[in-house]
Structure 1
Amino acid sequence: MKLIPAPLALAILACVAPAAHAEVAIDVIGGSEVSFEGLLQTDGYWYDNDVANLDADGSDGDDTDFGLRRAELVLKGKGPGNIDWVLGYDASGDGKFLDANVKYKIGGDKKHYVQVGQFKQPNSMEELSSTKNNDFISKAMITNTFAVGRRLGASYNIGSDDWQVSASYFGRELTRNRAHGSGFGLRGGWAPINEKGNVFYIGASYANYDVDGDTIRWRARPDADLSNRLIDTGSSGILNADRTSTIGLESFWVHGPFKLQAEYMMNSVDRYDTGFASQPGSDFDSSGGYISGVWNVTGETWTNKGGVPGTSGAENPASGMWQLGLRYDTLDLDDGIVQGGQMDTWTVGVNYYWRSNFKFMVDYVKVDSERRGVDDSPNIIEARAQFFW
C-alpha cells in the first residue's frame, strides 16, 4: 500500500517534534487522575520475492509496502479509590478499540484485581508485552496466528513480585466484525530469580474458545505485518470446526544487557464427525515457536513485570539506547489432508531508542517456506519509525 500523506506527516512529526514526557497528565475528574498516551508507528517493507509476490498492493512491480501501522490514542484514569480505567482507540486502517476496561484492585493491591471490559486475554507473553517495546517489527508467527488478543470479558488476577495467576472468560471483540467466539483463558508463571538485570521466568497458558460459523482459517505472513501471506490452510477454512484450544509455554532470562526469550504453542481444532468421507471429523493440530536474543549495546537491562519483560529506557536519553536482536521463528500448518504449509524465518534487527519518545527499527528477514510442494524463500528488509508519549 502506498504511503498516504497522513502517515508521511506523522513520520515527519516524529522526527521534528520536541521530546515529551510519557503519559501526559490532563486533570483530576470525579476523583480520577486522567492522563493521555499515544503511539504512532509507520512502516516500510522492501521485498526480494522468490515465488509469490509479497507486495500487498498487487503486481505493481514496486516490491514494496508502506503504511501507517498504528495510531493509538489512550485515555487512562487512576481512581476514585481502588478503581483504574482505560479507554483506547487505534485510528489506523479501519480503526478499532484497544483496551476499554475497568479494574478494581482488591485491598488496593495492584497485583490482586478483577477486570471487566475489553483487554488482552491471559495468554502469550509476547502478545501481553507493550507494543512500543517490541524487540522486532513483527511479532512472531505463533503470536499473530494463535494468540487471543483483546476481547470483551472479565478476569481475576492474583500474584506477587515473583508469581502470578490469571483466569478470564471472554466473548467477541468490541469493534464490530472482528474476532469473536466465547471462551476462557488461563495463565500462570513464576520467576525463581527476580531482580533488575537478573531474571529467570517460566510460565504456561491455555486458551479455549468456540468457533463461530463452524469454520476456522489459520494463515501467516513471513514476519512482515503489511505483506501477503505465504502459508494458509485455505480460503474455505478448516471445516466442521467446533472449538479451538492453544497450550502455550513461555520463558525469558535476563543477565545484565542480554535477554533470551522463547515461546512454544500447540493448537488443536476440535471438529465434528459428520460421517461423510468428504468431510472428515478428525481434529487439526498445528504448532510453532520462536527463540530470540537481544543485546542492549549501551548497557541497559530489563525487569519482570507480571511475567513479561519490562524494557528500561535509555540511561542517557540524549545519546539513546541501541539494541541488536536475532530471532528464529517457525510455524507448521500441515496436518493430514489439510496442507497449510510450513515456514521458518531468521530475523536480524537493530533498534534505536532516542530520548524519551522515539524509536527507530530496521530488520532483515530470511524466509524459508513450503506449501503443497512449492518452496518459497524470499528476503525482506523492514523499517519502522515510532513516536510515543
Structure 2
Amino acid sequence: MKLLHCTLALAVATIIAAPAAKAEVAIDVVGGSEVSFEGLVQADGYWYDNDQLNLDADPGDGDDTDFGLRRAELVLKGKGPGNIEWVLGYDASTSGNKFLDTNIKYKFGGDKNNYLVLGQFKQPNSMEELSSTKNNDFISKALITNLYGTGRRLGASYNYGSDDWQVTASYFGRELTRDLNHGSGYGLRGGWAPLNESGKIFYMGLSYVNRDVDGDTIRLRSRPASDLSQRLIDTNIRNADRLWTTGLESFFVSGPFKLQAEYMTTTVDRYETGFADEPGGDYTTDGYYVSALWNVTGETWSNKAGTPGTAGAENPAGGMWQLGLRYDSVDLNDGVEQPGKMDIVTAGVNYYWRQNFKLMLDYSMISGTRNGVNDDPNVIGARAQFYW
C-alpha cells in the first residue's frame, strides 16, 4: 500500500510538472541513452444490475458495486546508444503488482520495421491486446482478448516489414513476475494494409500461438464487461498437454469512423488417461467481437504495425469525444462439456482532455449461461485515467 501511495504522489507531481503538449517526461542522457519516464493510472467503478450470480467481487459486503485502482503503471524508456531501445515497466496497482514490458530492442539499420526484441513483451496475437492500453476503445477489453490473448512473456521476437505490411515471429517462456503465466511456446503474426493513408485505412491480419500447458490443467474463465467482478463463465480443462490459438483480425478507418473485428479459436490438446471418468480428445472454444467507433470531434486513426493508433485531440483545450458500440461473444461449450457462453452488447462514450486525461463511461447488456442456467445482468462501468 505504501508503494501505491508513492506511485500516485509521483504521478500527480509528474502531471503537474509536464507540459500539456507532451505525454512523456524526459529525464536525462545516460550512457548515450535518452531516458524518459511514462506512466498510466486508471481508477475504475462498476455498478451491477445482477440476475442470478452476484457479480460483486465481495458478495458479502451488501453492495452491488466495485471500485478499485485498475492500473498504476510506471515505465522507464531509453533510446540509444545507436539503434538500441529499451524499456522497463512495472504495474504497482493491487490488481497488477507485476512487471510490464521489460526488454531491449535492436533496430537493424535503424529501420523501425526491422528489429529484434529480447526480454518480456506482448506476444504476437490479439490485435486489441497489442494496442496501447491507454487508448482502449472500451473500459473492459473484449471477451476473446482476455480469454485467448497470450499477453506478456519472456522470450525473443523478430519483426520484419514496412509501413504497409509486417511479419512477426517469437519464442517465449514464462512471465517475468513469478507465479503468473507460464508454459513455453511460439507465436506468428502477419498483416497487410492494402489501403494505408491518412484517414483511409484497411488492414487485415492472421496470428497463431502454440504453447505448452504446465501442470496439465488450464482454466478458461471470463468476467462480464468488468475488470473487477466475479467470473460469469468458468471451467477447468484437465489432462491438457498443449494449447494453440488462431486469430483473424481487421480494422477499417474512414475519417472519424473506425470498424474493428477479431475472431479467435483455441484448441486444447488433451491426452488419454484410460480412465472412463477422465476426459480425452481435443477441446475447442471460440469467440469474436465487432466494434464501431466515431470521433465526434473529427479526429482519425493511424496504422501502427497492424494496430489502430488513436490521434490526440485537434483542439486540446476542448478535448476529443468518442462514441462506441461493440458486440462480442464467446462460447466455451464443446460437445458434452457445457461450461457456458456469453454475449455482450456495450455502448460507450469517451472523453480525452488535452494530452493526459481521459474519462470513460460504458453500459453493457449481458446474455449468458452458466451451468445450464441463464444469467442476464447489466453493468455500468466508469473510468478516470491520466497518463504522461
TM-score of the alignment, normalized to the shorter chain, above 0.5: yes
SS of structure 2 residue aligned to 1:217: strand
**What is aligned with 1:187?**
189
CA distance in structure 2 between the partners assigned to 1:325 and 1:15 by the alignment: 28
Q: Residue 81 of structure 2: SS of its match in structure 1? A: coil
Pick the aligned partner of 1:108 from 107, 110, 121. Answer: 110
SS of aligned partner of 1:335: coil
Deviation of the 1:214 alpha carbon? 0.4
Match of residue 164, structure 1, among 151, 160, 166: 166
Name the SS for the 1:227 alignment partner. coil
Which runs of 5 or more residues in structure 2 are unaligned? Answer: none
Name the SS for the 1:144 alignment partner.
helix
SS at match of 2:215: helix
Q: Distance in 2 between matches of 1:75 and 1:25?
A: 10
Query: How far does the alpha carbon of each residue in 1:268-289 deviate from its partner, in whole angstroms, 9 at most, with x for none?
Result: 0000011222112111000000
Aligned residues of 2:70 and 2:95 also touching (Cα < 8 A): no
Q: Per the alignment, do residues 7 and 103 of structure 1 end up closer, same or farther by CA in structure 2, a change over 3 Å counting?
A: closer
Is 1:196 the counterpart of 2:195 in the alignment?
A: no
1:13 Cα offset (Å)? 8.5
Q: How far off its partner does 1:364 sit?
A: 0.1
Number of the residue aligned with 1:340: 339
Give distance in 1, aligned partners of 2:66 and 2:11. 15
Q: TM-score, normalised by structure 1?
A: 0.95
Contact 1:221/1:227, CA 8 A, preserved across alignment:
yes
Q: 1:285 to 1:167 in 2, by over 3 A?
A: same
| 2-structure distance, mates of 1:5, 1:164 | 41
The answer as to whether partners of 2:11 and 2:39 remain within 8 angstroms in 1 is no
List 4+ stretches of structure 1 deviating above 6 A. Answer: 4-18
Structure 1 segment 1-389 matched on structure 2, within 5 A: 19=20, 21-93=22-94, 95=96, 96-233=98-235, 237-389=236-388
Report SS of the residue matched to 2:237: coil
TM superposition score normalised by structure 2: 0.95
Question: Deviations along 1:176-226, whole A, 9 cap, x unmatched?
Answer: 100000000000000000012100000000001000000001010001100
Tell me the amino acid that sits aligned with residue 118 of structure 1.
Answer: Q
Gapped regions of structure 1 (runs ≥ 5): none
CA shift, 1:19, in A, is: 4.0
Task: Spell out, residue by residue over 1:208-246, the C-alpha distance to the aligned partner (whole angstroms, 9 max, x if none).
Answer: 10000000010100011001010111xxx2111000000
- Paired letter, 1:74: V
Question: Secondary structure at the residue paired with 1:116?
Answer: strand
Cα drift, residue 10 of structure 1 = 9.7
What SS does structure 2 have at the residue aligned with 1:59?
A: helix
* Paired residue type of 1:382: G
What is the letter of the counterpart of residue 287 of structure 2? Answer: G
User: Deviation of residue 166 (structure 1)?
Assistant: 0.1
Return the offset for 1:338.
Answer: 2.4
Cα RMSD (Å) of the superposition?
A: 1.9
Work out whether residues 171 and 180 of structure 1, in 8 Å CA contact, stay in contact via their aligned partners in 2: yes
Alignment-mate amino acid for residue 146 of structure 1: Y
- In structure 1, how many angstroms separate the alpha carbons of the residues matched to 2:333 and 2:201? 36
Report how many aligned residue pairs link the two structures.
Answer: 383
Q: Could you say what secondary structure the match of 1:126 adopts?
A: helix
Q: Separation in 2 of the partners of 1:39 and 1:11?
A: 8
The whole-number CA distance in structure 2 between the counterparts of 1:309 and 1:345 is 22
| Cα 1:212/1:307, change in 2 over 3 Å | same
Change in Cα spacing, 1:348 to 1:200, as seen in structure 2 (3 Å) is same
Cα distance in 1, alignment partners of residues 144 and 182 from structure 2: 19
Determine the C-alpha separation between the residues in 1 that align with 2:170 and 2:267. Answer: 20
Kindly state the Cα deviation for residue 94 of structure 1 after the two structures are TM-superposed.
5.8
